Amino acid sequence: MAVHLTILGSGSSGNCAYLETEETRLLIDAGFSNCQTRQRLATIGRAPEGLSGILITHEHTDHINGLAGLANKLKIPIYCNRATKEAIEYQLDAKFECRIFATRSSFEVGDVTVDTFDIPHDAADPVGFLLRTPAGKIGFLTDLGHATKSVLERVRAANVLVLESNHDMKMLQESGRPWSLKQRIAGRHGHLSNEDAAAAAEEIMSADLRHIYLGHLSRECNHPDLALSVMQTCMKKIGAKHVKVEVTAQHAPCPTLQLDCAPAYAQSTLL
């Protein structure tokens, strides 16, 4: 059976992805309300009742907004590290039954092996994921201020990479945002710019990397065409013609990506 990945939405107001294998159905983050998540899953003929678990990268609202409505009401397992669990419970003023992992460890959910690693972001103990599925490896780097050598090494094996491309530096500098917020976003524990994302992709480029999703675009300080242009220019410069680049959206899911047993033949198709 093929593996399917659907980015249900990505941006400053909510982040959530859906992964389905023969044995396992996972959400990566739960940044939309219970109602929104259900609606977006319905567009691909799925429902939250069938979920095997929810993987949480960190406790910021745009990654956990629907967690209480999904996990507690439907008894869906939450996978996070201890510091993130404590931060979530404090932030949402609720208790959660979580399956705790140690950052930099690996664990299994059905037929998916989840590798975890720390990332530089202003949260309690933020992590990235490399999901090892029967049809390929999928990396998640959605919030990080800079791409360290350690982070890049952990996702180097990815066939598919969800990579933050948050802002255009000029648009950020010229925006009406407070100076302190601009500093936070552009800082080493903030968010990747379009150029930062392109540099990270260039650093880990291999024949096995076939698909890049640009995520977490700022509505005020970026534009999809701009983010896409910067990444595609980079891919052309390094001769990475085999890589398909897609920009995620906040308001709607991306077309589902189907990964067949040979990752080289991954293709985008609607379920």
Alpha helices (H) in 79-223, listed in sequence order: 82-92, 149-155, 169-174, 179-186, 194-204
- In DSSP terms, 245 is beta-bridged to 212
- What percent of the chain shows pLDDT beyond 90? 95
**List of E strands, 112-251:** 112-118, 127-133, 136-141, 160-164, 211-215, 244-247
pLDDT for 262 equals 57
CATH code, 3-262: 3.60.15.10
pLDDT for 140 equals 98
3-class SS of residue 26: strand
Q: Maximum Cα–Cα distance for the chain, whole Å?
A: 50
Give the C-alpha separation, 245 to 232, whole Å: 7
Give the C-alpha separation, 225 to 219, whole Å: 12
- What percent of the chain shows pLDDT beyond 70? 96
Backbone angles phi, psi at 164, to 5 degrees: -65, 135
For the whole prediction, is pTM greater than 0.85? Answer: yes
Torsional sign, CA 242, 214, 144, 55: negative
pLDDT for 271 equals 42
3-class SS of residue 103: coil
Give the C-alpha separation, 5 to 246, whole Å: 13
Backbone angles phi, psi at 200, to 5 degrees: -65, -45
3-class SS of residue 20: strand
Backbone angles phi, psi at 197, to 5 degrees: -60, -45
Q: What is the mean pLDDT of residues 231-237?
A: 98
pLDDT for 1 equals 73
Q: Please check the confidence at residue 263 and state whether its pLDDT lies above 80.
A: no
Give the C-alpha separation, 86 to 91, whole Å: 9
Mean pLDDT of the chain: 95
pLDDT for 215 equals 98
pLDDT for 261 equals 72
Give the side-chain half-sphere CA count within 13 A for 68: 10
H helices, E strands: number in the chain:
10, 15
- In DSSP terms, 247 is beta-bridged to 214
Give pLDDT tens digits for 12-65: 999 999 999 999 999 999 999 999 999 999 999 999 999 999 999 999 999 999
Give the C-alpha separation, 25 to 35, whole Å: 18
What are the tokens at 73? 């009401």
Domains of the chain: which residue ranges? Answer: 3-262
Q: Is 89 exposed, middle or buried (0-12, 13-18, 19+ CB in 10 A)?
A: middle
65 close to 36: Cβ distance less than 8 angstroms: no
Give pLDDT tens digits for 85-126: 999 999 999 999 999 999 999 999 999 999 999 999 999 999
Q: What is the mean pLDDT of residues 237-256?
A: 97
Q: What is the mean pLDDT of residues 240-252?
A: 97
pLDDT for 270 equals 40
* Beta-strand pair 98-100/106-109: unpaired
Taking the CB of residue 191, how many other CB atoms lie within 10 A of it?
27
What are the tokens at 198? 């392109």
